[in-house]
Structure 1
Amino acid sequence: MSVDGGAQRLKTEADEPGWEVDPDDDWGVAVVATVGRQLRLRREAVGMRAAELGAATGYGEDLIYKIESGKRIPRPEFLDKADEVLGAGGLLSAMKEDVAKVRYPKKVRALAKMEAKAVELGVYECNIIAGLLQTPEHARAAIEAAQPPYSQGDVERMVAARVARQIIFERDPAPALSFVLEEAPLRRPLGGTMVWRRQLEHLLEVGRLRNVTLQVMPTNCEVHSGLDGRIELLKFADGTAVGRSDGAFGGRPVSDLRQLRILELRYGTIRAQALPPRESLALIEQLLGET
């Protein structure tokens, strides 16, 4: 927080892009409304004005009112500070997990929920580096490249959602994860040289994890089974599975065994056609050395 003329500069809505509530997200609207109502009740119970709570937490009065009215998603650190200032005994802090999920688009929440349960995950990406493998800086550069451009608030939400899904790498017991990436996106310096270098370094770090298999499909492979587009397969402990492919079944998620076998055949063939893991990491190291 900056200091200007001896006065603290309080955060306003303009300083907090990407924390608006999606009006079409019924669950998210209900969660944020509940948090806002609890915040207002606690503030009024201790006789504190909104401006005073704002000054104590580093937020402007207008932002406090918008959080209380359910129009803004509060940051997790704000809830911790407000809980402390208002003596809420952990009531407000306990809502952080649900509030954090509200910020992510509904379809991302659904995907993250499935990934959190999967015991095996396989992803083939043809045009980009898989979202689960992207650094925050790379993700931001990729999302900002879209045309027409997203609003800054949407960019921040999408980056946060993409990075949050990467908690899959911290699960214990660890799921078996496999990725096949095309060589061409690895050579694209998206975001500039430093962002590109850090992304390649991150791929090497992840690719060396014991539960991760990372492969590269070389551009000199004349033809392979992934030319129809992205493939994702998730398998669960109860024996069920879900798959999706850009080039099959209209791109929709499928769980029918016959359709899953088709996707598994395609993905297995792609893995067989790609460079082995050791050679793949060696190629990424070579690309890093060329930057």
Structure 2
Amino acid sequence: MSVDGEAVQVRSETDEPGREVDRDDEWGVAVITTVGRQLKLRRESVGMRAADFAVAMGYGEDLVYKIEAGNRIPRPEYLEKADEVLGAGGLLAAMREDVAKVRYPKRVRELAKLEANAVEVGLYSNHNIHGLLQTEEHMRALFDVWLPAHTEEETERMVAARLARRTVFDRSPAPALSFVQEEVTLRRPVGGTMVWRRQLEHLLELGKLRHVSIQVMPTDCEDHFGTGGLIEVLKFPDGTAVGRSDGAFAGRPVTDPKQLRVLELRYGMIRAQALTPRESRALIEQMLGES
């Protein structure tokens, strides 16, 4: 297809710059509905038909209607191109930040918000290396073997969301971050030897940060208080806290002081049983030497 004598590539549905909107995410629905409305109003104000706009954008007309109706989340580059095509002077491109946030799942956004406000975070993982500690390669390797298989779009969205949460390491003032990892999660060569080695090296680098503590729970520990599964405890400046565990309170987040004390007791006992940060570092270095 061509416009003004120039060839224009029209991408297919599989190349669409967006995903469907989660209708249970009220804030996300409101943002994407507003963005779609603004795109349509701008297009109509310059007298451009949807078909012509689709050609200029290089996407199918059906996609244009989906985005304008608030049924599809556009990628940032879509907004940038639309801003250029419609001569919006940056008004459409300026919506990229809110749209980027909506691309993350609602649960991940809520978790990232909690982590961003916490002054103390305690995390115990017994199945995989915790998401905050994972390298991008490690994340992709985990998502690639998920069943049923994720689409490429879903994988990119989950990786981007998980990477965005890592800003918790760069906050100032820095929160106290404590991690306890089961030894088996560190020995599993997720993604192959090189990805695994880079993951271990990443853990050693994070462990150098003054506000980060990484401990390893030895596999041969006989009396283990972590058999109930994952534990998360986040504490905030106002003295409040929220916690969650796979093996307590049906896995739901809790804020009741009595329930939080149960999680804090379990986490405290797990930390006491685990190797010290210095011993844990030595073990990770040993694993690297053996790989």
**TM-score of the alignment, normalized to the shorter chain, above 0.5:** yes
Q: TM-score scaled to structure 2, two decimals?
A: 0.88
State the Cα distance separating 1:130 from its structure 2 match.
0.4
State the Cα distance separating 1:167 from its structure 2 match.
2.1
Counterpart-to-counterpart distance in 1, 2:202 and 2:159: 16
Q: What are structure 1's unaligned runs of at least 5 residues?
A: 1-5
Paired residue secondary structure (1:19): strand
In structure 2, relative to structure 1, the CA distance for the partners of 1:264 and 1:238 (3 Å cut) is: same
Structure-2 residue corresponding to 1:86 = 86
- Summarize deviations over 1:74-95 as a string: whole Å, max 9, x none: 1123323433443324322332
Amino acid in structure 1 at the alignment position of 2:114:
M
Counterpart-to-counterpart distance in 1, 2:150 and 2:134: 19
Structure-2 residue corresponding to 1:200 = 200
Q: Does 1:43 align with 2:43?
A: yes
Counterpart-to-counterpart distance in 2, 1:57 and 1:199: 40
Q: Paired residues, what number?
A: 286
Structure 2 matches for 1:47-86, cutoff 5 A?
A: 47-50=47-50, 53-54=53-54, 59-86=59-86
Structure-2 residue corresponding to 1:226 = 226
Structure 2 matches for 1:198-277, cutoff 5 A?
A: 198-277=198-277
State the Cα distance separating 1:285 from its structure 2 match.
2.3
In structure 2, relative to structure 1, the CA distance for the partners of 1:135 and 1:255 (3 Å cut) is: same
- Summarize deviations over 1:184-209 as a string: whole Å, max 9, x none: 01111112223222222222222222
Structure-1 residue corresponding to 2:156 = 156
Structure-2 residue corresponding to 1:3 = none
Counterpart-to-counterpart distance in 2, 1:52 and 1:169: 46
Counterpart-to-counterpart distance in 1, 2:10 and 2:173: 43
Q: What are structure 2's unaligned runs of at least 5 residues?
A: 1-5
Percent same amino acid at aligned positions?
70
Paired residue secondary structure (1:132): helix
* 8 A contact 1:18–1:157 mirrored in 2: no
Counterpart-to-counterpart distance in 2, 1:214 and 1:18: 37
* 8 A contact 2:18–2:74 mirrored in 1: no
State the Cα distance separating 1:41 from its structure 2 match.
1.5
Structure-1 residue corresponding to 2:109 = 109
In structure 2, relative to structure 1, the CA distance for the partners of 1:209 and 1:53 (3 Å cut) is: farther
State the Cα distance separating 1:166 from its structure 2 match.
1.6
In structure 2, relative to structure 1, the CA distance for the partners of 1:20 and 1:201 (3 Å cut) is: farther
Amino acid in structure 2 at the alignment position of 1:232:
E
In structure 2, relative to structure 1, the CA distance for the partners of 1:17 and 1:58 (3 Å cut) is: closer
In structure 2, relative to structure 1, the CA distance for the partners of 1:10 and 1:136 (3 Å cut) is: farther
Counterpart-to-counterpart distance in 1, 2:290 and 2:10: 45
Counterpart-to-counterpart distance in 1, 2:251 and 2:87: 50
Counterpart-to-counterpart distance in 1, 2:277 and 2:16: 42
State the Cα distance separating 1:104 from its structure 2 match.
2.1
In structure 2, relative to structure 1, the CA distance for the partners of 1:18 and 1:173 (3 Å cut) is: same
* 8 A contact 1:121–1:177 mirrored in 2: yes
Counterpart-to-counterpart distance in 2, 1:86 and 1:170: 38
State the Cα distance separating 1:38 from its structure 2 match.
0.6
Q: Does 1:180 align with 2:180?
A: yes
Structure-2 residue corresponding to 1:279 = 279
Comparing 165-174 and 246-255, the one that deviates more? 165-174
